[in-house]
């Protein structure tokens, strides 16, 4: 019972577990939802999906399973009763209803099974077979009082498109591009609380232990408060091909600023060379030697590079390859230095992941950063953050 549905969800990469499936069945037995497909949809979603980011995937899978039922010939035996019951919809006014033959529920189901078996190939119009249009009680866009709608758009008598077909949760899906809210949430996973600074908080457990050791004489212990102790260095590629990604960089940047107390940011163009800058308006005047940075910030900083890594391979691999100035050492050498100084590092690339393999320079940088290149989708950032928060 409904096992196929469950397996279908699983195959659509929804993280559903057996326990949740059993709860679903328990609820059906208890009569939590009435036998209408809408309520079943809501109940199944409440029960099986635990993250709004998966709502859209669930909607699609639900719709697919729905459509699936009509497409496989000879499936009549497997049609679960709940489904058929749930599919039943009464669309027309009482007069119209009276005009058409009423089959009654059991008869309707029986007919449906029979016709599913009889039907060969696609059918449209007419009044007997399942297909689109026509006045047979089966199939969609039909005008039969006890019609059963299976997938597709309905004739529009009432709420034509089902909830899951609207796909209202599409923008909550974590494999699509982000908004500021999403980024902040992703970055929050990098929080690591630590006690640093002045001792201002009463350490109760410590006090009790110390007092006990002191044979009952009070011995107050203080300790520093907890703060987010993560330190981040952010290197952002600006100009040139990055112009296309300005919005996402801004969002990511502002989310980082809001989230991390210790955040240092620097700009570079295409690849990091011997100097970077902090203020784009004064990029030619006030440049900061990278070697200073290497000495200034300790290995406890996390390194995030944000760039599309799209350039000529010469700009990475050859001395004097930079398009802006004469660099005595290749960009690759500088990149390796950064990675050595801050082993906990990630490269975020706003280019869509499927394009990476078509750009030679992306491949080179991907190799230099040891495969730690992630797309700037929510899932990509989460992956990067998980990697960064691991101990190195």
User: Contact residues for other proteins (CB under 8 A)?
Assistant: 15, 17, 19-20, 23, 26-27, 30, 32-33, 38-39, 42-43, 45-47, 49-52, 55, 163, 168-169, 172, 180, 185, 188-189, 204, 207-208, 211, 216, 218, 226
Q: Which is nearer to other proteins, 15 or 352 (CB)?
A: 15
Q: Which is nearer to other proteins, 43 or 297 (CB)?
A: 43
Q: Which is nearer to other proteins, 157 or 207 (CB)?
A: 207
Cα–Cα distance measured from residue 92 to residue 79, given in angstroms and rounded to the nearest whole number: 25
Q: Which is nearer to other proteins, 46 or 157 (CB)?
A: 46
Neighbouring-strand partners of residue 124:
132
Q: Which is nearer to other proteins, 109 or 384 (CB)?
A: 384
Q: Whole-number minimum distance, CB 204 to other proteins, in Å?
A: 7
Q: Whole-number minimum distance, CB 188 to other proteins, in Å?
A: 5
Q: Whole-number minimum distance, CB 13 to other proteins, in Å?
A: 15
Q: Which is nearer to other proteins, 33 or 311 (CB)?
A: 33
Pairing mode of beta strands 262-268, 231-237: parallel
Please state the separation of Cα 289 from the chain's center in Å.
38
Cα four-point dihedral sign 76, 79, 82, 83: negative
Q: Whole-number minimum distance, CB 277 to other proteins, in Å?
A: 26
Neighbouring-strand partners of residue 138:
148
Q: Which is nearer to other proteins, 190 or 364 (CB)?
A: 190
Cα–Cα distance measured from residue 269 to residue 292, given in angstroms and rounded to the nearest whole number: 19
Q: Whole-number minimum distance, CB 295 to other proteins, in Å?
A: 34
């Amino acid at each position: 019972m409904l096992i196929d549905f469950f397996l279908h969800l699983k195959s659509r990469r929804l993280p559903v577990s057996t326990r949740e499936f059993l709860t679903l069945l328990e609820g059906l037995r208890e009569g939590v939802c009435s036998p209408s497909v809408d309520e079943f949809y809501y109940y199944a979603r409440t029960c099986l999906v635990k993250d709004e980011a998966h709502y859209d995937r669930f909607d699609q899978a639900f719709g697919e399973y729905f459509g699936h039922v009509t497409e496989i010939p000879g499936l009549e035996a497997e049609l679960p009763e709940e489904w058929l019951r749930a599919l039943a919809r009464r669309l027309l006014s009482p007069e119209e209803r009276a005009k058409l033959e009423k089959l009654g529920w059991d008869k309707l189901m029986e007919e449906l099974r029979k016709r599913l078996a009889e039907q060969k190939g696609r059918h449209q119009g007419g009044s007997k077979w399942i297909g689109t249009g026509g006045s047979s009680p089966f199939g969609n866009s039909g005008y039969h009082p006890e019609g059963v709608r299976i997938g597709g758009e309905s004739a529009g008598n009432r709420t034509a498109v089902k909830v899951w077909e609207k796909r209202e949760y599409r923008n909550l899906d974590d494999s699509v591009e982000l908004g500021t809210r999403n980024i902040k949430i992703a970055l929050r996973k990098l929080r690591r609380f630590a006690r640093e600074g002045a001792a201002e908080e009463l350490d109760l457990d410590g006090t009790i232990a110390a007092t006990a050791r002191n044979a009952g004489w009070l011995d107050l212990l203080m300790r520093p408060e907890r703060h987010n102790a993560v330190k981040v260095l952010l290197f952002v590629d600006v100009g040139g091909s990055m112009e296309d990604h300005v919005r996402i960089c801004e969002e990511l940047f502002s989310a980082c600023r809001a989230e991390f107390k210790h955040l240092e940011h620097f700009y570079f163009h295409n690849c990091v060379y011997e100097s970077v800058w902090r203020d784009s308006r004064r990029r030619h005047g006030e440049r900061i030697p990278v070697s200073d940075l290497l000495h200034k910030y300790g290995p406890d900083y996390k390194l995030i590079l944000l760039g599309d890594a799209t350039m000529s391979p010469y700009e990475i691999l050859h001395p004097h390859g930079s398009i802006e100035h004469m660099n005595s050492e290749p960009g690759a050498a500088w990149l390796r230095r950064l990675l050595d100084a801050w082993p906990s590092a990630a490269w975020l690339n706003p280019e869509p992941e499927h394009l990476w393999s078509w750009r030679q320079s992306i491949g080179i940088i991907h190799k230099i950063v040891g495969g730690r290149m992630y797309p700037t989708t929510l899932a990509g950032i989460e992956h990067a953050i998980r990697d960064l928060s691991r101990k190195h």
